[in-house]
Structure 1
């Protein structure tokens, strides 16, 4: 990654290393059937979140009820038409009359109007609810993106990229879709059950009691099937996340997989996870697929019971023939909302689980963004003082011990030492990605804790070993250091970075589009582009972290010259393993296990024949051996 002002690019790629994590490290969103830890608390929080749309939700409620009511009345009116036909046929047989087609026509027109109004109300409530759910999703995505920029670095050090991205994609998508479906379905299902029950009672309370016998059977069947299938749904979603993570990881690092001949191991691991996914998916789909035929079987038992009882009541003139048809339709429709309510219950669990993960992220501790009466970061000169700094990522483990050093404006400071010595940690403290446990870091006499973090970081520029370029033109990538820069300023920055000539040799020049991984330019060219970006940003303080460690000697010379142009007149911190590149540093800080063990110029440290001399000579011997 390379970023001149360390601001995160919206929509920029955030990827982990190809072989750095196992599949268990990738997060995945709330799955259908996954339960929230605090269902009631999360739903209350979600209701508060939705309260700003309460007028629209009330409208959805009214239109959903209206649509359902008009739909429910239909079968009883249709039964009247059936009764008219039956009476007409009986009158025709007895020779006393015939079928009253005029009355039937009126009944059918009324029925068509009812169904049209029902469909219109259903369309309106669906339109409004879709808007609500998408507005909530839109707002949550914005809040999460803004939240990311306020989060402390320690959070990202303990979470995988997949876990964080999952909140923005999977969880919010799940929340939006299930909210859209479950709320309206809950309203219509309850209204349908109550409405159908009233209509059934209006026809015959005896037949209604007989029909209600199917409810306990339906509930028992639903509970059994859902109880069995839910654990397989959870397992399916868990292994789906593992499979996706493994595929993503190995696709991103397919070259490394081939270099180390790990194709068989990767395939074996994939097959193992895929087998688990197949097994859980097959079981979950089979069990959930049993729901419909099982409910249909129970419903058919109800039809038989209602038909026999209805025929007996019709013979006794207790009900009309058309009422039997209406009642059978109501019985058929009565099992549907029961099934829907079971699905809604599952959806609400999924909604709560997704909402809980989103709210959990939004409630995470944030960095202190503002300071009362902050120091003016625009006036920073570059004098830096570390005073007895102690720091540890964990409270019980200090890794920087009593670190003190004075740096004057414009000095070039090199920080060297073995891996794990604390070099990069010093830089993180300087930019307030972390705050010191004790001691202080001062810039121009002001404690950095007296600056607003965002304003402080605007004074810094960084060029890192891992270059970070996004999918866009070369011009856009350089201009990222200063978004309002003119084309002429971009070209001047590229010339100072010794990358202008290379850009001009490209077919599209500065308008050439870098692909997602910027793989259509070399590593050295990517590094020069990030240096051009930093030059354009014109920072007061510069940090170079292993900026030449992954390029050839000739490109290193170009990069070194570009960095010299960049460092001119600026306070610069250089973290380097190649000690030959920091010979001209004003001061070299030699760190080991969190302490400064030596400091001085290159010649002074060699003359001491201490830790630095051993590091330098060991590299010199390695170069000679090569």
Structure 2
């Protein structure tokens, strides 16, 4: 289990989930009630039909073979039965009825299986897709905390556990309920005294089950947590496999996975230790019920009523009791599996709804408007921002936590960008350049001040229209596993091949694409690993060209490629930025010297602003950076006062 210091947002909201399985049925089961009701009805018929053969056999024994009593069945009118007919007719009736009962049992068991599986899988389809949809809407703050493994655990492991519960546990529970009620009713009707002997194990089974459920629940919670931790560790190790290999740290990562796996093993064994007590205990109680019934019934049949019992017991009744008790024992022995699946599902549903309950902090206001068409004027007005140390905090406290001084990333940032202008942001690493532009996309919300597009506070417009007007090309280009054409069309899925080719030409990508074996239909592999960094970058630029945004963000789009590739990419970026409001973050100042305005960002503030020449004439931070990059070592030595 996580310590209080390590508690994740999952833990916070999972712990607040009340009656998780009730929520599962009320939110997802109710819309599929027809399948559930149909399945339960078929189950009742199937189980009722399965109880007829022992009754028919007992009646036939007493009427046909021993002649102890007339042919009779519970609830069935005597006029419907061959009670006074010849023995052959009674035997024939019993044989035909037994065959019909087995046939009805088979048909309605099939109907129940179909309905139950449709119910379970339709519910889980909705749970999985809704959980993924919610995950997509969560803020970047959530993913900054590296919750990917936890989310994968919810979408895969926890959803699968719920599916098993809905598919198997519900089916077995329904079968158990019908069998217990039906068998108990028949036994009490036939011989209430012997029935009490058979049913005496039920209170003990209930007590043992309640103890098991109370004891095992926290252990299941810990097990689900350890699965999430293991998935996170595996996901991180696989995502960073190149770094692992180049750092020669395979043994270190193996050790971390081994530790996470052992935690999962330890928590799983903690659950299994209880199961090793509970399941054999259930089987023992059920078996003792059968044995005691056999002993008491056998003595009664051969020697008369034992102990304080009274009345008679026929051979047919004894045979029926033994057969029904055996059918009674089997479902009772399966209670352990049902409880096991129930507790597992309860822990999983808490995590599913814990994810569902995490608030979406950045979303459209009720009166948000569509910003399109966009001209492209952008204004930053005294913008302040900081990453909160505990962004989700106490779910019951809506008061935002004040930022400590050390948490402030941006402080009083103000500037304007007119339509068609290019604004460059330069400065040391960690100064806040990327954060400034992430706020424009509303990946995060400002803590103070405003960001406006065409005069509209971006918090007052729809996210779809805002982000639809902004194109983003970053340094770390992500491509989905698919073809080059599919990756260029991402976001513009209806674009035809001609548009894709034109976008690739504008991005200087057409030539290398056509030289590949399958051209635009070449698969790029996971994360685009089959392409070079420069090729991935140009595919990303082509994707942005196809989107044709009014506002363009270039976040160090050429910093990780060679000089020749940089020239090609920069040429395509120059084409892309024509007649658009463009923001460019760059460490290589030569790529932004022609910008309409350059902002020098230091420690979260705009320290200098102006054109390239104006900043050089000011002889400040920008001039020092420029001289450092253009090789003026003597000036750099003088300014930094260092020895060569």
Q: 2:395 aligns to what? A: none
Match of 2:580 in 1: 570
| Match among 372, 386, 396 for residue 402 of structure 2 | 396
Kept after mapping to 2: 8 A contact 1:154/1:434: yes
Q: How many Å separate the matches in 2 of 1:27 and 1:438?
A: 25
Alpha-carbon separation, structure 2, partners of 1:339 and 1:618: 79
Q: Determine helix, strand or coil for the equivalent of 2:252.
A: helix
State how far apart, in whole Å, the 1-side matches of 2:530 and 2:149 are.
Answer: 25
The reply on whether 1:63 has 2:42 as its aligned counterpart is yes
**What TM-score results when the alignment is normalised by the length of structure 2?**
0.82
Shift in CA distance, 62/623, structure 1 to aligned 2, threshold 3 Å? farther
Task: Confirm whether residue 309 of structure 1 aligns to residue 296 of structure 2.
Answer: yes
- Cα deviation digits, residues 456-512 of structure 1 (max 9, x gap): 211111101110111121112112253332322221211111111111111111111
Question: Are 2:553 and 1:543 equivalent residues in the alignment?
Answer: yes
The aligned residue for residue 198 of structure 1 is 185
Change beyond 3 A, Cα 1:270–1:352: closer
Deviation of the 1:371 alpha carbon: 6.2
Residues 126-153 of structure 1: CA distance to partner in whole angstroms, max 9, x if unpaired? 2112212222222333433443454443
Aligned to 1:114: 101
Shift of 1:604: 2.2
Structure 2 partner of 1:54? 33
Match of 2:396 in 1: none
Please report how far the alpha carbon of residue 78 of structure 1 lies from its aligned counterpart in structure 2 after TM superposition: 2.1
> In the aligned structure 1, how far is the partner of 2:136 from the partner of 2:256?
36
Cα 1:481–1:368 change in 2 (3 A) is: closer
Q: Deviations over 1:138-177 (max 9, x none)?
A: 2333433443454443333345122233333333332233
Match of 1:436 in 2: 446
2:117 is matched with: 130
Instruction: Say which of 313, 319, 325 aligns to 1:325.
Output: 319
For residues 36 and 415 of structure 1, do their structure 2 counterparts lie closer, same or farther at Cα, with a shift above 3 Å needed? closer
Question: How far off its partner does 1:438 sit?
Answer: 3.0
Structure-2 separation of matches of 1:385 and 1:286: 63
Structure 1 stretch displaced more, 130-139 or 214-223: 214-223
5+ residue gaps, structure 2: 1-5, 69-85, 305-310, 389-400, 637-644
Q: For residue 488 of structure 1, what is the aligned residue in structure 2?
A: 498
Does 2:530 align with 1:530? no
Distance 1:403 1:76 in 2: 85
Q: 1:216 deviation in Å?
A: 4.2
Which sits farther off after the overlay, 178-187 or 287-296?
Answer: 287-296
SS at the partner of 1:514?
coil
Aligned residues between the structures: 587
Q: CA deviation at 1:359?
A: 3.3
Q: In 2, distance between residues paired with 1:282 and 1:459?
A: 53
Which residue of structure 1 aligns with residue 372 of structure 2? 377
Q: Which runs of 5+ in 1 are unaligned?
A: 1-23, 30-34, 90-98
Which stretch has the larger CA shift, 388-397 or 284-293?
A: 284-293
Residues 105 and 283 of structure 1: CA distance in aligned 2, closer, same or farther (over 3 Å): farther
Greater mean deviation of Cα atoms: 550-559 or 342-351? 342-351
Pairing 1:150-549 to 2, within 5 Å after superposition: 150-158=137-145, 160-219=147-206, 222=209, 235-281=222-268, 284-285=271-272, 288-289=275-276, 291=278, 293-315=280-302, 316=304, 318-366=312-360, 367-369=362-364, 372=367, 374=369, 376-378=371-373, 380-394=374-388, 395-397=401-403, 398-549=408-559
Aligned CA distance change for structure 1 residues 234 and 614 (closer, same or farther; 3 Å): same
- Residue range with higher mean Cα deviation, 477-486 or 140-149: 140-149
Alpha-carbon displacement from aligned partner over 1:179-234 (angstroms, at most 9, x marks no partner) = 23333332221221111111222232222222233334444555666667666655
State the Cα deviation string for residues 28-66 of structure 1 (Å, max 9, x = none). Answer: 99xxxxx97545365156325422333443322222222
Could you tell which deviates more after superposition, 224-233 or 78-87?
Answer: 224-233
Q: 1:461 to 1:28 in 2, by over 3 A?
A: same
The higher-RCO structure (CA 8 Å, 6+ apart) is 1
Q: Please list the CA deviations of residues 570-626 of structure 1 after superposition, one character each: whole Å capped at 9, or x if unmatched.
A: 11101112223222222110111211011112232233222223333444559999x
Partner of 1:9: none
Counterparts of 1:145 and 1:553, CA distance in 2: 41
Q: Is the 8 A contact 1:46 1:355 kept in 2?
A: no
Question: For 1:520, what is the secondary structure of its paired residue?
Answer: coil
Which piece of structure 1 moves more, 527-536 or 180-189?
A: 180-189
Does the aligned pair in 2 maintain the 1:167–1:358 contact within 8 Å?
yes
| 2:41 partner SS | helix
Inter-CA distance 617–136: structure 2 relative to 1 (3 Å threshold): same
Of the candidates 38, 54, 58, which is equivalent to residue 75 of structure 1? Answer: 54
Change in Cα spacing, 1:623 to 1:322, as seen in structure 2 (3 Å) is: farther
Q: Structure 1 residues 227, 406: closer, same or farther in 2, change over 3 A?
A: closer
SS of the residue corresponding to residue 425 of structure 2 reads strand
Q: After the TM superposition, which of the residue ranges 558-567 and 347-356 deviates more from structure 2?
A: 347-356
